């Protein structure tokens, strides 16, 4: 308790915007950082494209952790960032079906899509907003499936929503971030197959400090690139940037 007449010191807090595929890994990293430093990191999750547009419109955050590099480049071009940012991880895709599904997951993406019945839905993140949606569409193309008919596709506003469509049975299959499937909250409701990396361009993920970010945000940014944080990224299914 602060002595009478001495104002109590507020804990330091940082506001950041981060792609939805980072939900569970950031929960771990934020908790670890707070235990080490006492600094609270408040995370605003969403599709990278939506978050970048919100930042351009004045969203008050100190850091943007994107699911790709293009949206960071957009903010850099607009003069909103302190530099071009840093790669922090490379993402992986996973094919998912509900736990009780009889679809032939082990036979791969093409077999699962071809086994869908009329009226079944395949979930991906909206490629106009989410880099994981772009990669999912690329994987479908490279697997020889072409664009899915609009009637059979359901788009999540972000990769987290696309995952929930499959986890709840609203969609019969889908493509998500491998990192989301490893969390206990999700893993129990899905069957998961990691997709080969040659089905899509590398999902290099980049983060950047925004103009006006203070020393506390810069320290947190450095922590995310540290060996201790890198071990957490890997544990959550990410590859380290090359």
Distance between terminal CA atoms of the chain?
48
Question: Residue 185: its pLDDT value, please?
Answer: 84
Q: What are phi and psi of 190, to 5 degrees?
A: -135, 155
Q: Which domains does the chain have, with CATH numbers?
A: 13-90+204-235 (3.40.190.10), 91-199 (3.40.190.10)
* Mean pLDDT in consecutive groups of 10 residues from the start of the chain, 242 residues: 47 94 97 97 97 97 97 97 97 97 96 96 96 96 90 94 96 97 89 96 97 97 97 96 80
CA dist list (Å): 221 to 2, 18, 62: 31, 13, 10
pTM (two decimals): 0.89
Helix and strand totals (H; E) in the chain: 10, 10
Q: Round to whole Å and give the CA distance between 239 and 234.
A: 6
Rg (the chain; Cα; Å): 19
Q: Cα torsion for 74, 163, 23, 54, to the nearest 10°? A: 30
Nearest to 20 by CA among 54, 1, 46, 2: 46
Is 203 in contact with 179 (CB distance < 8 Å)?
no
């Amino acid at each position: 308790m602060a002595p009478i007449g001495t104002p109590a010191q507020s804990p330091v807090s940082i506001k950041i915007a981060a792609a939805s595929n980072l939900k569970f890994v950031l929960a771990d990293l934020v908790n670890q950082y707070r235990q080490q430093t006492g600094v609270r990191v408040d995370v605003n999750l969403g599709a990278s494209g939506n978050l970048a547009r919100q930042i351009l419109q004045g969203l008050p955050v100190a850091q943007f952790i994107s699911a790709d590099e293009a949206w960071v480049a957009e903010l850099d071009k607009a003069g909103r960032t302190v530099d071009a940012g840093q790669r922090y991880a490379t993402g992986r895709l996973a094919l998912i079906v509900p736990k009780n599904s009889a679809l032939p997951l082990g036979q791969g993406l093409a077999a699962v899509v071809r086994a869908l019945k009329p009226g079944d839905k395949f979930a991906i993140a909206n490629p106009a907003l989410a880099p994981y949606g772009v990669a999912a569409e690329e994987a479908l193309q490279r697997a020889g499936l072409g664009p899915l008919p609009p009637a059979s596709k359901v788009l999540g506003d972000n990769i987290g929503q696309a995952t929930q469509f499959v986890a709840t049975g609203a969609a019969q299959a889908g493509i998500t971030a491998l990192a989301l499937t490893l969390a206990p909250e999700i893993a129990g409701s899905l069957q998961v197959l990691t997709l080969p990396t040659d089905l899509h361009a590398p999902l290099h993920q980049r983060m950047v400090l925004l103009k006006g970010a203070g020393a506390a945000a810069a320290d947190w940014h450095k922590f995310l690139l540290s060996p201790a944080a890198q071990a957490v990224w890997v544990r959550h299914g990410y590859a380290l940037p090359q």
